[in-house]
A = this chain, B = another copy of it.
Amino acid sequence: MPKSTFFNLPQAKRERITELAIEEFSERPYHRASLTRLVARAGIAKGSVYQYFDDKLDLYRWLLTEEVPRRKLAHLRAEAEAAPPTSLRGFLRQAVLSGVRFMLANPRLSQLAAAVTMPTDDPELRALYAEVLAQGHAGFTTMLRGMVQAGQLRDDVDPELAARVIASVLGIGLRDIVLGQLGVDMLALLREPSMAERLDDAALERLVDGVLTILVDGLAPPP
């Protein structure tokens, strides 16, 4: 958790530091991200970081567990003005669409969130990642369990297994699919977010429906 000093900062300064931190940590894996570079770009002194945060991990943890979820939720809420979906297809469609839109609109936050799937040897990082992952997985499983009871999900599918399959597709898979369609890699998108516009709404719909068909109806041709 940031120290009170950080929250006492003038809003503009605090936001500038936050944005630059997101930039730094989204472009590099944790141990390659550099506080030295961050402070140089922010125009503040090295020591100031330690007035605001306990240490590097404290800053990173704050981004990952507070700042990213806060912004992501704001995005999802803004998209879900409609009633919550009741069918499996509707639920997945909303999940996929929101996921893609969030990623295209906020590649840096999306990249930060994706970092938790990366294996690492650092024990403290592993603990942090495991915590974030477990939270997401639990939410998914609960939702799918509800769908089994409502008869929306075939009953010979284990909800927990389905949650992992969906999570892998929505997480890494979707990112790769969208980047593949755009013909760029993640770092390029981070540095030139306007590239996202090359994927127009029609193409996006086609993409989402393609993935949906596979997940909902399967790969086999109908009998």
**Interface stretch among A12-20, A43-51, A68-76, A119-127?**
A119-127
Are A218 and B216 in contact, with the CB atoms below 8 A?
yes
**Interface stretch among A25-33, A77-85, A98-106?**
A25-33
**A38 interfacial contact with B, CB 8 Å:** no
**Total chain A interface residues with beta-carbon distance under 8 A:** 56
Which single member of B119, B211, B213, B217 contacts A111 (CB below 8 Å)? B119
Are B164 and A217 in contact, with the CB atoms below 8 A?
no
Q: Which residues of B contact A177 (CB under 8 A)?
A: 161, 164-165, 168
14 A-B residue pairs with CB within 8 Å = A31-B32, A88-B220, A114-B119, A119-B185, A119-B187, A152-B220, A152-B221, A154-B213, A154-B220, A161-B211, A165-B173, A168-B171, A168-B174, A218-B219
Which single member of B169, B187, B210 contacts A158 (CB below 8 Å)? B210
Are A154 and B117 in contact, with the CB atoms below 8 A?
no
Give complex CA distance A217, B120 in Å.
Answer: 35
Are A118 and B118 in contact, with the CB atoms below 8 A?
yes
**A222 interfacial contact with B, CB 8 Å:** yes
Interface residues of A in 189-223 (CB under 8 A from B): 207, 210-211, 213-222
Are B130 and A185 in contact, with the CB atoms below 8 A?
yes
Q: How far is the CB of A31 from chain B (nearest CB, A)?
A: 6
Q: Which residues of B contact A213 (CB under 8 A)?
A: 154, 156-157
Give complex CA distance A70, B183 in Å.
Answer: 29
Give complex CA distance A114, B167 in Å.
Answer: 17
Q: Which residues of B contact A57 (CB under 8 A)?
A: none
Q: Which residues of B contact A211 (CB under 8 A)?
A: 161, 165
Give complex CA distance A217, B219 in Å.
Answer: 6
Residue of B nearest to A115 (CB): B119
Interface residues of A in 118-159 (CB under 8 A from B): 118-121, 126, 130, 151-158
Are A214 and B165 in contact, with the CB atoms below 8 A?
yes
Q: How far is the CB of A118 from chain B (nearest CB, A)?
A: 5
**A186 interfacial contact with B, CB 8 Å:** yes
